[in-house]
Amino acid sequence: MADSKLSGPWSLSDVELFLHQALIPVRLSAISPSGWPTVVSLWFIYEDGALKCASKPSARITELLRENPKCGFEIAGETPPYHGVRGQGLATLDHKLGPNLLPRLIDRYIGPDITPFRRWLLIGQDEEVGIMIRPTRLMSWDYRKRMQL
């Protein structure tokens, strides 16, 4: 991520710390062939300077990123005080990454317990496609001090 353009109040280390700790899905935007954006929310892990997600090969977001790897993203909570990270990047699809990434995403967001929901999420695990987003631009914002009452 060192090559990406950075703006906002946070340093790169602040941004990376936030991305490591945030348990908020990434809102990922891709451009459809008609030119209109499509936005989805996906679980992510931040490592090696990239946001890593998983989805089915037939999912609309996967199809769109296969056609055009340019994407936008945002990781931010929905309640005050508002703070987060948004940016633009290039997505790479990796069929080898998906099957191993999916259980890690489940562990991160819902925990390691073996539950019916976990088993359901893992159906078709071997078909999952990894989505790796390398940011080219990053912007942070933080209104926590301003919004203190």
- Here the CATH number for the domain that contains residue 81 is 2.30.110.10
Total-model pTM: 0.92
Q: Is residue 67 part of a domain?
A: yes
Q: Strand 129-142 vs strand 5-7: parallel, antiparallel, or unpaired?
A: parallel
Q: Is residue 16 part of a domain?
A: yes
What pLDDT, in 10s, does the model give residues 57-106? Answer: 999 999 999 999 999 999 999 988 889 999 999 999 999 999 999 999 99
Q: What is the DSSP string of 4-39?
A: SEEESSS-HHHHHHHHHH--S-EEEEEE-TTS-EEE
Compare 148 and 104 and report the one with higher pLDDT. Answer: 104
The number of distinct structural domains making up the chain is: 1
Q: Is residue 149 part of a domain?
A: no
Element holding 110 (H helix, E strand) = helix 97-110
Q: Is residue 74 part of a domain?
A: yes
For the chain, percent of residues with pLDDT exceeding 90: 82
Q: Is residue 148 part of a domain?
A: no
